[in-house]
Structure formats: structure tokens, C-alpha cells
Amino acid sequence: MNDLTKGKPLKLIFWFTIPLLIGNIFQQFYSLSDTLIVGQTLGVKALAAVGSTGSVQFLIIGFAQGLTAGLSILTAQHYGAKDFKGVRRSFAISIIVSLVVGIILTIVSLIFVDHILVLMQTPTDIIDDARTFLQIMLGGMLAPIAFNLLSNIIRALGDSRTPLWFLIISSLINIGLELLFILGFHWGIAGAGWATILAQLLASVMCVVYIVVRVPILHIGRRHFKLRRAEVTSHLRVGLPMAFQMSIIAIGTIVLQAALNSLGTDSVAATTAAQKIDQLATQPLMSFGVTMATFAAQNFGAHQYGRIITGVKQTMWLSGAFSVAAGVIEIIWGQQLVGLFVGHQDMAVLHLSQTYFNIIGSSYILLSMLFIMRNTLQGLGRSAIPTLAGAAELFMRVFAALILVRFFAYPGACFSEPLAWLGSVAVLLPAYIRAVHELRQRMATDKTNKAVDSTVSVTE
């Protein structure tokens, strides 16, 4: 376990982020391998079917993942304050809340899966494959929920390396299972879904074994599962806003996906393939953001307020440099990378993907700021403002889907992302400035109290 409350902030942040970054990239291999293998073996229509379900998965599974991320914030704060009893209680409460939410979401989502696909205007030529893939992913959502909870809890204690190894192993197994199920067993698109769920289940089991063998601070018994209203409420107060934030953002993505579906299979396929490149390109930005949530939470619990301010400033510059480099690479070579998914003969899809890269890649600096400010505020326990920022993203995406797509077709859909990031930053920036001001006030108060205590000690 790593204590992020001591040592040079940027050095700690950088080395904590590296395993997290590699882990996030391997996390993308779950969906990336789906896209690559499905696109090359089952064709463009199957690729579009997988892509058309992404926003629905983001809405439903993303809600639970946002919840688990929020719950781990409380664990990190207890760890920073050296309250190890609180760490165990927080872990137990997080397990109960995640399990209950996961079961409810599984049941409800499977009941309404057909209605969702119809509302999203899923093209008729891919709706059967989309339904098959989505039913498997939603039916097995407890596997990714379990892994996200366990890995977030481990990271809350300052360990970003261990979840990386579990992701590497499970990602390789995922690829092997997809090839076996699709090419060997001829399960079609269902094979991609089952491979992903089984691989994530394996990652969850590895986390449990690791905690039992190597992390005694997380060893919990029956007494830790006795619920106390105040503790449950404090966890939900942080976890639910982060969950709703993910869902609010996802609703905008669903509205946009419906607009994309109305533009035809080529637009869906181009966006599906381009987004895989986009997700890989933005992993450094996302990873720095996730690091800041743990860094801010631990240092807030330890009353190291100045370290939070310093860490955010230094990370903002570093992440900004990555955002510029990623955008340039994507604009120059993105189309060639998309060809790996759809082949180099489908020129309509390739041209659409280049439009996507030109618009999205040039706006990454906004995304860099968004991730750092949002996660820092969440690490401080301020989940309401990021939720409002998510609402701003929703408004911008709906505006793009209803207005820009109508007038500008595919480019209008692409502009939804930069507009969403801009709307979110407009909400987060004033809130972050206020948070920094309050942290400085806490620093001054602590300094005054220490001076008074010192004077009293000398007098005595």
C-alpha cells in the first residue's frame, strides 16, 4: 500500500498513474478486442451492432461503476486519516451497496432491453445482433461491478499496480476466449459478449484472492456488515451523485447514439471504430484524473491541503501536454488505425472517421482540464458539482443530437463531444476555484491552531 500524503506530489502522482494508465489501456482491450475481432471476422454490420449498444452499457453499467468509484473515496479518506477500522467498515458497506444496486440494475435492464433498442432507433439490419450482445453484457454486469469495486478499493489504499496485473491477465484471456468462441465454436456476436464477462469475472476472483492473502487491512468479518444509518448515508452521499453523474452523461450519449443510428450503418461503424482509438488516446488524461481523486482524498483525510493544490497544478500541466500530443497523433494517423478494424477498402467509413478525429482530437485540452478538476472535487467529497457538470454535458449532447445533426449531419454529431466538455468545464472551473480558496482557509486555520497550541505548551 502507498501513502500519498508524504513525498513530492508530482513524483507520487506520476508513478501512481503509470500502472493505472497501463491498466486502463488493458481495460479498453475488452471492448477493443470485441471491435477488432468482430469487425474482421463477422463484418461491418456485426461491428455496428456492438457499437450501437455502447451507450446503453455506459448508462446502466456506468451507473454502478460511478457508484463504486464514489464509495472508494470514503475508503481513501479513512486510509489517509489512518482510521483503519473505518477502512474496513467502508469496504463492507461498499460491498452491500454495490451488490444491491447491481442486482436491481440487472433485473430492470433485462426487462426493458427491447424497448431501449427501439427507442434508440437501432437499424433493423443489426437489431438482432445488438439485442443478443446487450442481453449478455447486462445479464453479467455483476462481474464488471465486482471488479470495479475491488480494484477501486485497492487503489484507494494507494496500490495502483496490483489491479494492473489482474487486468493484463484477464485481457489476454478475453482475447483468447473471443477467438475460441467466435472462430472455434461459431457463437457469433454472443461469443464476444461471453468472453468479456468471463474475463472480468476472473479479474474479480483474482482481486478477492489478493485481498485475502496480501491485504489484512481489508479483512472483514460479520461485525463489519452491521449497517449503521449514518455510515451508509455518508457513503451514498458521495457514491450516488457520482453514479447519477455517469448516468446523466450516458443519457446524452444515448440521445446522440440514436441520432447516429438515424444516419445509417456507415456512420455507426465509423464512430464505433474511431471511438476505440479515441478511448486509447485519452487514457493518459483519464488516468491522471483518477489518480487525483485518490491523491486528493488521502491528503484531505490527512489535512495536507497544500499538497492537494500543488499536486493539481503540476498534474494540470503534465496532462495538458499529453492532450496536445494525443490530438496531433490522432489527427495524423487515426484513419490508418481505423483501417485495422474495418479494413482499408471501405472508404466511406474511413472518411467519416477522419472527420471524427479532426474535431475530437483538436479539443483534448478541454477534456484534460475536465478530468483533473472533476476527480479532484470528487476526492474532496464534493460530488454535487460534478453531477451538475454532467448535466451540462447532457444538455450539450442533446443540443448536438437534435440541432447540429439535423443541419450538419455527421460533423454535427462529432461536435457533441467538444461542446459537452466545454459545458462541463464551465461548471467545474468556478467550483474548483472556490475549493482552492477553502483549502487555503483550512491551511491558515490549521497554522493558527498549531501556533496557539505551541504558545500554550511554552506557557505551561
> What does the pLDDT look like over 38-97, one tens digit per residue?
777 777 777 777 777 777 777 777 788 788 888 988 898 888 888 999 999 999 999 999
First-to-final CA distance of the chain = 40
Query: What pLDDT, on the 0 to 100 scale, is given for residue 27?
Result: 66
Cα separations (Å) of 49 from 131, 183, 207, 309, 427?
A: 8, 18, 32, 45, 35
Q: Does residue 221 or residue 64 have the better pLDDT?
A: 221
Q: Which residues touch 302 (CB under 8 Å, ≥6 apart)?
A: 5, 80, 81, 82
Query: What pLDDT, on the 0 to 100 scale, is given for residue 408?
Result: 84
Q: pLDDT confidence of 338, banded at 50, 70, 90?
A: confident
Alpha-carbon span 61 to 50, nearest angstrom:
15
433-444 burial code (b ≥16 CB/10 A, e <16)? eebbeebeeebe
Nearest by Cα to 424 from 383, 393, 459: 393
Cα separations (Å) of 74 from 95, 101, 232, 297?
A: 13, 18, 11, 8
DSSP, collapsed to helix, strand or coil, labels residue 135 as helix
DSSP conformation letters of 168-215 = HHHHHHHHHHHHIIIIIS--THHHHHHHHHHHHHHHHHHHHHHHHHH-
Nearest by Cα to 140 from 223, 89, 84, 199: 199
Is the model's pLDDT at 458 over the cut of 50?
no
Is the model's pLDDT at 311 over the cut of 80?
yes
In which residue are the cell numbers 471492448 written?
Answer: 31
Query: What pLDDT, on the 0 to 100 scale, is given for residue 92?
Result: 94
Cα separations (Å) of 9 from 248, 302, 308?
A: 32, 14, 8
In which residue are the cell numbers 442481453 written?
Answer: 135
The 8-class DSSP code of residue 53 comes to: T
Q: Which residues touch 437 (CB under 8 Å, ≥6 apart)?
A: none
Is the model's pLDDT at 376 over the cut of 70?
yes
Do 181 and 36 form a contact (C-beta atoms < 8 A)? Answer: no
Query: What pLDDT, on the 0 to 100 scale, is given for residue 435?
Result: 92
Is the model's pLDDT at 427 over the cut of 90?
yes
Mean pLDDT of 207-218: 94
Query: What pLDDT, on the 0 to 100 scale, is given for residue 33?
Result: 63
Burial (CB count <10 Å: 0-12, 13-18, 19+), residue 27: buried
Of 172-181, 304-313, 336-345, the least confident? 336-345
Amino acid at 19: P
Is the model's pLDDT at 225 over the cut of 70?
yes
Do 322 and 284 form a contact (C-beta atoms < 8 A)? Answer: yes
Mean pLDDT of 209-221: 93
Query: What pLDDT, on the 0 to 100 scale, is given for residue 289?
Result: 87
DSSP, collapsed to helix, strand or coil, labels residue 62 as helix
Mean pLDDT of 21-25: 76
* CA 393 centroid distance within chain: 15
Entry field: residues in the chain: 460
* CA 146 centroid distance within chain: 15
Is the model's pLDDT at 454 over the cut of 60?
no
Nearest by Cα to 119 from 264, 258, 263: 258
Q: Which residues touch 284 (CB under 8 Å, ≥6 apart)?
A: 17, 21, 319, 322, 326
Alpha-carbon span 216 to 401, nearest angstrom:
50
Query: What pLDDT, on the 0 to 100 scale, is given for residue 391?
Result: 86
Q: Which residues touch 168 (CB under 8 Å, ≥6 apart)?
A: 22, 23, 26
Angle between the 265-281 and 283-301 helix axes, to the nearest 10 degrees? 50
Mean pLDDT of 417-441: 92
Alpha-carbon span 118 to 179, nearest angstrom:
30
Alpha-carbon span 239 to 148, nearest angstrom:
13
Q: pLDDT confidence of 444, banded at 50, 70, 90?
A: confident
Q: pLDDT confidence of 437, banded at 50, 70, 90?
A: very high
Do 427 and 388 form a contact (C-beta atoms < 8 A)? Answer: yes
Q: Is the pTM of this model over 0.85?
A: no
Cα separations (Å) of 52 from 56, 60, 254, 275?
A: 8, 14, 9, 12
- Give per-residue pLDDT as tens, 164-211: 888 888 888 888 998 899 888 988 889 988 998 999 999 999 999 999
Mean pLDDT of 272-301: 84
Is the model's pLDDT at 452 over the cut of 80?
no
Q: pLDDT confidence of 344, banded at 50, 70, 90?
A: low
Query: What pLDDT, on the 0 to 100 scale, is given for residue 47?
Result: 75
- State percent of the chain over pLDDT 70: 93
Q: What angle do CA 343, 347, 353 make, to 5 degrees?
A: 85
Would you report the helix, strand and coil content of the chain in percent, each value rounded to 5? 85, 0, 15
449 HSE (CA, 13 A, CB side): 7
Is the model's pLDDT at 29 over the cut of 70?
no
Alpha-carbon span 104 to 264, nearest angstrom:
34
